[in-house]
Structure 1
């Protein structure tokens, strides 16, 4: 864990130089372990246990409005985690929780996910580190765009919900497994992996944060 320990020390040193109102909170967790992503709003309550394996270290960030102001947007996802792989490389795993997915909430979720990815990349850049992989997650209870999705996950199809009017009408089919697909965002070089997490009636769920090995 020497590499992760060095990274932890540098994060603490660099962020100590920032004004308090721009400083997101963070914690380190050594695998095997888990971090919890919470959405405390009553209507869309969520508690998602995000597990990761041996040799992986998680840096969980709590980015709220007012943090990292130079980035320029106060849109933030519910969960933001940098994972340090056993080989020392970094991955960004970002989650947004919604009660129901429809065209409006999906558009908002994508914006929150994208801005949080940008902020994690900025944090890594400040450390002179490169993020090798980005994974997006959406946790939800129901999908209004595909009413049968709860019964048959293979029916999950969502419009991209981006600003471009043509792109926002597109739908993407399943490309990998019943719980994974890809999403294209304008301006990015390649699609992002999107993992769908289904909450139970209490708003609870769990998911494995899998890194490349």
Structure 2
């Protein structure tokens, strides 16, 4: 039950971050979001940093789960395309994931333990995409002699950039255009 309650606290943390920003997120605000006392929150998390680390881990797990769901029953280009769609803010849920992720990234600057966790999360996601490209290479589905490490970095930079674009541009890319551009990029590395 404590794992479930920790996840509920994490979800409340996301809601406060999305609504108020991470700098105004406090244990008190999270407790109010949950409709409980601060003592209930501190029963599961000693301080704000511990809670933020857990909430960031939950973002990474959500992304991984979405990637797996998008990949189920698909192969080749369709599979990797679906996996990378997890990173794009195509619906309200994924928009919230990106908002929380960006808030964490900004907050992590100057906080070594949070920045290290961000890097750890990014490494996990990087590994999933790299494994998929290695499988595609073994199946002779992508171009030969690609530097897979560079390709993974480029793909992640591409989807992360499109995600940020949606929040900072006056006329952001629409979800159909995000999907179209991702598909065009992926087709450039696949064999005809």
Between structures 1 and 2, the one with greater strand share: 1
Between structures 1 and 2, the one with greater helix share: 2
Q: Same fold (TM over 0.5)?
A: no
* Larger Rg, first or second structure (1 or 2): 2
